[in-house]
Structure 1
């Protein structure tokens, strides 16, 4: 059998691409994988897993010259699953002339201005917005709504997101300037509750979906703080947001893969679009979704990029543990990390990721992902999930020495 040639642009180690039974998403007898990744991830690859390794500065994807990196190599498929890598992967497909999602489609899932224009034109309610090259251009929008959000058009991880509540704040931001080189947009602040809706999608139709409510702001990341969400229990809000999710995805009937929709319910209980990502959600979403639906969002993201259909599902959550939630817990203080002194353990703790290593500097978190720990839990309902997330945070003990 002729193996299919895959260019995999990866932000994680290759062993992440495994099923629960340990088998690889890319069996070596079916796929000849060229792995483009950070050198430290390439060093972890076992012999025979991939055909070729190419070191890449994944942390600067806007400048990724992928066609130059792969040279004259030929591929059947190009695969990427991380938000900031979707556009570079789309450009590589076009440069190589291989099938798959191109730049024009990817912009609707990546460019916050392009996506709002598209979904608004299809009848989806979006916040009023405008593209700005400097903060002062948003003064009229601030006058109309009293509070606005200013953020990068291609932003990820809540980096450089600004909540502006008055003209003094806007002028301070004007003097400070934007942190990145990206384009920026300003949009109406929606008062209400915020949710994320995660889906495995086949041709614009969700195969499975989970609706979760955020419990914390995810524009700032205070020391000893956290960001949490939990799945909604059955009820009118769940049904309304599932229907809204179906309507949004129906506007991109060509899309298959994993989708991460951010949405609001305003003070009148009406859904409002925030943004849509054509990739798996971060934090503990992959683990929680797989527990609830028996489907990996990561694998669901990969399958269409290999010309295959998204799977219908697998073993689902136990009837007494259908609810899930996750948290990102931030360091209690700055300094030098020495170690985790205590970590919680429980059969309802689905995931506990502890990224810090002894000797690491502990600096003020700048992105939502700059966490001391990431947890995912399950329970019988939302209330139990929230209690268990609190128990996880209490159970994490660390030593950080001042500098």
Structure 2
């Protein structure tokens, strides 16, 4: 029986899909390494974990390493499961430090540090944006002058478009330096004009065994900076859009370059006006764990949560391709900050054609505290349909009809 460690922040309630997938594995002893305070978010599934070890901050390597030493005194750990973006580097460090198979420290850094990520792929001949690192205001101004407006400035190892800015002129740049920059090194990129897609894929024993192409309703930066609806549409296997096959080949080249043999991946790419494909970024984890897995499951009958757990354990079997013909879309309902005066309910949308799931997480009178990023939502809806335009129309209608009034 394998002893495995599952890494998790305190928001255990958002890891339900992973925990359900882990519960399907019968020949493991599961140890949970989790942040203190997780009990306020959810109870652990009964009998799933043989032991629970706590740290104050799951991203603090010194804290995690000390506790992991204690775990190794009691268990013969063969695998570390690091399922979400914020624990990928922690998992990589532990595997390298203690000689455990899986994504190693240098590989984890490649899929988290966006400079290393893009430079690695650029050296392999993969098209990506012009990118530089700046550490002070003088360097920021000099690099921006060299690249030219508009530009993107963001954290080197960020996620969910948090602290990511599109700046179009010198006035906006100076405002960013004065009011938004946190005085840490930042990544500066040329702005890419094009349609934004994500490719969600599974690699088992070095072979790309599944990939799914989806298109964002609006680019991620438009969602954050211009309050555009946050949504995406998953293409079925038998789509006839020629760029889908090209994106899958492009994605395969990316993953081959990274050299990671067992993982799920979430890549973002752009389809440029001239038809070329440009790399955006990639993570060795499931993207959008609330909405992307149910989309992929509906269009392809592939469970990404099962894949995330089983690839790490080296037991994943390649799925059979399903030609469902279904386009599946998801829309995130907007969030806010304050006390809710009124909010739509799921019953308000029950007659919507193509609706297969809807969740609204709040009711009137509750407090809500969302952020300006691609993770914050007050709920979501999943829609299926025979073509992309039908699904797009339904998603935008759901967004427009949703009501959230707050103080």
Please give the secondary structure, in 1, of the residue aligned with 2:312: helix
How far apart are the structure 2 equivalents of 1:170 and 1:370?
26
Q: Cα distance, 1:395 vs. partner? A: 5.0
Q: Cα distance, 1:286 vs. partner? A: 0.9
1:171-190 equivalences in 2 (<5 Å): 171-179=174-182, 183-190=185-192
Instruction: Work out whether 1:235 is the aligned partner of 2:241.
Output: yes
CA RMSD of the aligned region, Å?
2.8
Match of residue 291 from structure 2: 284
Please give the secondary structure, in 1, of the residue aligned with 2:46: coil
**Distance of aligned partners of 1:90 and 1:357 in 2 relative to their CA distance in 1, 3 Å threshold:** farther
Q: Which string of whole-angstrom CA distances, capped at 9 and with x for unpartnered residues, describes residues 315-350 of structure 1? A: 84644xx2112222213x653025644213368434
Mapped contact 1:291–1:317 kept (Cα < 8 A): no
TM-score scaled by length of structure 2: 0.86
Match of residue 67 from structure 1: 65
The one of 329, 332, 339 aligned to 2:333:
329
Match of residue 77 from structure 1: 79
Unaligned runs of 5+ in 2: none
Unaligned runs of 5+ in 1: none
**Distance of aligned partners of 1:207 and 1:41 in 2 relative to their CA distance in 1, 3 Å threshold:** farther
1:156-171 equivalences in 2 (<5 Å): 156-171=159-174
Match of residue 202 from structure 1: 204
The one of 78, 88, 108 aligned to 1:86:
88
Match of residue 129 from structure 2: 127
Q: Cα distance, 1:260 vs. partner? A: 0.9
1:254-403 equivalences in 2 (<5 Å): 254-282=260-288, 283-308=290-315, 310-313=316-319, 316=322, 318-319=324-325, 322-331=326-335, 334-337=337-340, 340-343=343-346, 344-345=349-350, 348-356=354-362, 359-363=365-369, 365-394=371-400, 396-398=402-404, 400-402=405-407
Please give the secondary structure, in 2, of the residue aligned with 1:76: strand
Match of residue 36 from structure 1: 33
Match of residue 18 from structure 2: 17
Q: Which string of whole-angstrom CA distances, capped at 9 and with x for unpartnered residues, describes residues 92-129 of structure 1? A: 22233222111101111111001111111111011111
Mapped contact 2:89–2:108 kept (Cα < 8 A): yes
Please give the secondary structure, in 1, of the residue aligned with 2:4: strand
Mapped contact 1:198–1:260 kept (Cα < 8 A): yes
Mapped contact 1:127–1:188 kept (Cα < 8 A): yes
Q: Which string of whole-angstrom CA distances, capped at 9 and with x for unpartnered residues, describes residues 247-269 of structure 1? A: 21221243322111111122211
How far apart are the structure 2 equivalents of 1:161 and 1:292?
31
How many residue pairs align between the two structures? 389
TM-score scaled by length of structure 1: 0.86
How far apart are the structure 1 equivalents of 2:41 and 2:334?
28
Match of residue 54 from structure 1: 53
Q: Cα distance, 1:281 vs. partner? A: 0.9
Q: Cα distance, 1:285 vs. partner? A: 0.8
Please give the secondary structure, in 1, of the residue aligned with 2:198: strand
How far apart are the structure 2 equivalents of 1:105 and 1:173?
32
Instruction: Work out whether 1:218 is the aligned partner of 2:225.
Output: no
